Structure 1
């Protein structure tokens, strides 16, 4: 039982410790409840990837790099995805966003997302370029995304 308690405590700290070690200016919100994270699935009709669910259960969003949304809050994930999917001007300018679940941004208009596959499999993190409508794979997981973003030079490390 002692090791289980230690593991649970260790898991709770993992995301915050990882991010604090990479971003000097990281700001964390209070943890999101399971019910709050479930609201993403209910509103977007799409499963929240396990790694994102885990992070949100430890902190309801992370700001870093001068206040940009490293990972958005539950509310912002829902609001931004609904806006992108239902904005008539976006529908004229861009391909559909229905397969994406945006969860963060670079502070300059580009967004980071998961791609929903029919199998439900997680294929990593993608970047959506707001100027070109390009959608490009940038990281194999949320942990990989957080790490790559921290060590890269420049705001558009993913291009």
Structure 2
């Protein structure tokens, strides 16, 4: 579904091989919560999405999702500067320091953008599908 969705809408999109289901289970254990269903579905098809310039410029691979979230949640300096990151699961960046995330609450599917300069968290899209289509076609921006 995800590959065909983006292949039809965008030129020069690059897909990595699917994530290993065991690695996704391990990621959930390390992070301490389940991955959102849409993200599991996407990672089952492609473990990251990039463009012609960067292999993970659109959606990070699973290992980077885990690394970035553990860093943001565990860094003592970041805790003094920003509101807690625990309710968020970051999965991509805008290339300018801002990050895209799911909210880990009540099965929400919304995608939020975290502004690294103001620490604001704003809803950007109502689903991963709308986010990917909007971001990849330039209809969404930050």
Fold conserved between structures, TM > 0.5: yes
Aligned pairs for 1:4-153 within 5 A: 14-64=1-51, 66-67=53-54, 69-117=57-105, 119=106, 121-152=107-138
Give the drift of 1:65: 7.2
Supply the distance in 2 between the matched residues of 1:111 and 1:25 (Cα, whole angstroms): 22
Alignment gaps of 5+ in structure 1: 1-13
Supply the distance in 1 between the matched residues of 2:7 and 2:92 (Cα, whole angstroms): 17
TM-score with structure 1 setting the length: 0.82
TM-score with structure 2 setting the length: 0.91
Contact 1:23–1:65 (Cα < 8 Å) also in 2: no
**What do residues 68-112 of structure 1 show as CA deviations (whole Å, max 9, x unaligned)?**
631111100000000100112211111110110001111111110
CA distance 1:45–1:116, change in 2 (3 Å): same
Q: Which secondary structure does the structure 2 equivalent of 1:70 belong to?
A: coil
Supply the distance in 1 between the matched residues of 2:52 and 2:33 (Cα, whole angstroms): 29
Q: Which secondary structure does the structure 1 equivalent of 2:2 belong to?
A: helix
Q: Indicate the RMSD between aligned Cα atoms, in angstroms.
A: 1.7
Contact 1:31–1:56 (Cα < 8 Å) also in 2: yes
- With 86-95 and 21-30 compared, the bigger mean Cα shift is at 21-30
CA distance 1:123–1:57, change in 2 (3 Å): closer
Alignment gaps of 5+ in structure 2: none
**What do residues 110-148 of structure 1 show as CA deviations (whole Å, max 9, x unaligned)?**
11001111x3x1241100011111100011111010011
Higher relative contact order (CA 8 A, sep 6+): 2
Aligned length: 141
